[in-house]
Structure formats: C-alpha cells, structure tokens
Amino acid sequence: MAFRPLYDRVLVKRITAEARSAGGLFIPDSAKEKPQEAEVISVGTGRVLDSGSIRAMSVKPGDRVLFGKYTGDEIKLEGEEHIILREEDILAVLA
C-alpha cells in the first residue's frame, strides 16, 4: 500500500530494542520501555509557512531518528505498527 503523510508529518517505524541488558540478563516484554529510536519510512511535502511557501523537510526516508516519549500517533499498516509524528517532534537524526 502506498502511504504518504501530509505536510510536515513523518511516518516512522520503531527500531526493536535489545532483549538483553548490558550485563547479559534477559529483559521480559512487560519490563521493557518502548524504544524512542525509529527509522523514517515516508515524509510529507513540508511545512506550509504563513507566506504560503513550503519549507522542505529536513529528514528523508531511511534516516534513523530519536523522538519524544509521548509524541506521535500509533497506527497499524499492513499488520505492522508505525508512528506518525510532526517533524518538530523529532529530536535528532542519528548518523
């Protein structure tokens, strides 16, 4: 299915967290926090400014990003969980 977010929104998919701690202990699913790192799947055209012009997006598909803990809306596409964020909710792009 083709999916393109509108305006300054970004579709991301969470990157799965490690099942073990740094010390090698197994972490059950009930004790894990949802990761705040994701891969950008699709981006909108950009933010519409007051002047009517469009500011291009600063992220692109394939980028790995960090986002706020309580931001975005979770959705399911083709059975997989994704998140739709505004570009301003993205805290950093990982190199």
CB 16 within 8 A of CB 64: no
Mean pLDDT, the chain, rounded, equals: 84
Domain assignment present for residue 13? The answer is yes
Is residue 74's pLDDT more than 80?
yes
Cα dihedral 7, 93, 89, 33 sign: positive
Domain that holds residue 46: 9-17+33-94
Residue 74 to residue 82: CA distance in whole angstroms: 6
Domain assignment present for residue 1? The answer is no
Domain assignment present for residue 22? The answer is no
Domain assignment present for residue 26? The answer is no
The CATH number of the domain where 77 resides is what?
2.30.33.40
CB 84 within 8 A of CB 75: yes
Domain assignment present for residue 86? The answer is yes
Domain assignment present for residue 3? The answer is no
Domain assignment present for residue 44? The answer is yes
Task: Give the per-residue pLDDT at 70.
Answer: 85
Q: What is the DSSP letter of 47?
A: E
Task: Give the per-residue pLDDT at 47.
Answer: 87
How many domains does the structure of the chain reveal? 1
